[in-house]
Structure 1
Amino acid sequence: MTDGMLVESGALALVAGSGDLPRLIAEDRRRQGLPLLVVRFEGVHAPWADGMDVLDLPFEKPGRLFKAMKARGCDRVCFAGGMTRPRLDPLRFDLKALGLAVKALALLKKGDDAMLRGFASIFESEGYRMVAAQDLLEGMLAPEGVFGAVQPSDQDREDAARAAAIVAAMGAVDVGQAAVVCDGICLGVEAIAGTDALLEEVARLPEGLRHGDAGGVLLKGPKPGQDWRMDLPAIGPETVRRAALAGLAGICVEAGAVLVLGREETVRAADEAGLFLWGRPSAAEAPLDPDAAAPAPPPTEAPSA
Structure 2
Amino acid sequence: MNIGAETALIAGTGGLPALLAAAAPGMLLCELDGFASAVPGAEPLRFRVERLVPFLDALIARGVTRVCFAGAIQRPKLEPELFDAQTAALVPRLVGAMQAGDDATLRAVIELFEDWGLVVVGADEIAPELVPGEGVLAGALRAVDKTDAARAAEIVTALGAVDVGQGAVVAQGLCLAVESLPGTDAMLDFVAAHRGQRRGPVGGVFFKAPKPGQDRRIDLPAIGPQTVAKAAAAGLSGIVFEAGGVLLLDRAATVAAAEEAGIFLWGRAG
Instruction: State the TM-score, normalized to the length of structure 1.
Output: 0.84
Among candidates 228, 232, 241, match of residue 244 of structure 1: 232
User: Does residue 267 in structure 1 map to residue 255 in structure 2?
Assistant: yes
User: Does residue 176 in structure 1 map to residue 165 in structure 2?
Assistant: yes
The answer to whether the 8 Å contact 2:4/2:24 transfers is no
Q: Could you say what secondary structure the match of 2:109 adopts? A: helix
Among candidates 137, 140, 154, match of residue 165 of structure 1: 154
Moved over 4 A (4+): 6-10
Give the 5 Å matches for 1:93-242.
93-148=83-138, 150-205=139-194, 207-208=196-197, 210-242=198-230
Report the Cα distance in structure 2 between the residues aligned to 1:242 and 1:200, rounded to whole angstroms.
Answer: 7
The answer to whether the 8 Å contact 1:249/1:275 transfers is yes
* 1:16 alignment counterpart: 11
Report the Cα distance in structure 2 between the residues aligned to 1:47 and 1:236, rounded to whole angstroms.
Answer: 16
Structure label with greater radius of gyration: 1
Would the alpha carbon gap of residues 9 and 18 (structure 1) be closer, same or farther in structure 2, given more than 3 Å must change?
Answer: closer
User: Does residue 26 in structure 1 map to residue 21 in structure 2?
Assistant: yes
Matched to 2:207, the amino acid is: L
Would the alpha carbon gap of residues 133 and 9 (structure 1) be closer, same or farther in structure 2, given more than 3 Å must change?
Answer: closer
Among candidates 35, 38, 60, match of residue 44 of structure 1: 35
Shift in Å at residue 45 of structure 1? 3.0
Among candidates 54, 68, 71, match of residue 58 of structure 2: 68
Shift in Å at residue 88 of structure 1? 1.8
The answer to whether the 8 Å contact 2:50/2:82 transfers is yes
CA shift digits 1:31-80 (9 cap, x unpaired)? xxxx311111122131434x314112222111331132122210011111
The answer to whether the 8 Å contact 1:85/1:108 transfers is no
The answer to whether the 8 Å contact 1:178/1:221 transfers is yes
Report the Cα distance in structure 1 between the residues aligned to 2:156 and 2:30, rounded to whole angstroms.
Answer: 31
Q: How many residues align?
A: 270
Matched to 1:25, the amino acid is: L
Shift in Å at residue 194 of structure 1? 1.4
Report the Cα distance in structure 2 between the residues aligned to 1:279 and 1:214, rounded to whole angstroms.
Answer: 22
Larger helix fraction of residues: 2
Report the Cα distance in structure 2 between the residues aligned to 1:206 and 1:273, rounded to whole angstroms.
Answer: 17
Report the Cα distance in structure 2 between the residues aligned to 1:269 and 1:156, rounded to whole angstroms.
Answer: 19
Instruction: State the TM-score, normalized to the length of structure 2.
Output: 0.94
Structure 2 gap segments, 5+ residues each: none
CA shift digits 1:79-104 (9 cap, x unpaired)? 11111122222222122321111112
CA shift digits 1:245-280 (9 cap, x unpaired)? 212111000111111111111100100111100111
* 1:281 alignment counterpart: 269
Would the alpha carbon gap of residues 11 and 123 (structure 1) be closer, same or farther in structure 2, given more than 3 Å must change?
Answer: same
Shift in Å at residue 206 of structure 1? 5.0
Report the Cα distance in structure 2 between the residues aligned to 1:9 and 1:257, rounded to whole angstroms.
Answer: 23
Q: Could you say what secondary structure the match of 2:50 adopts? A: coil
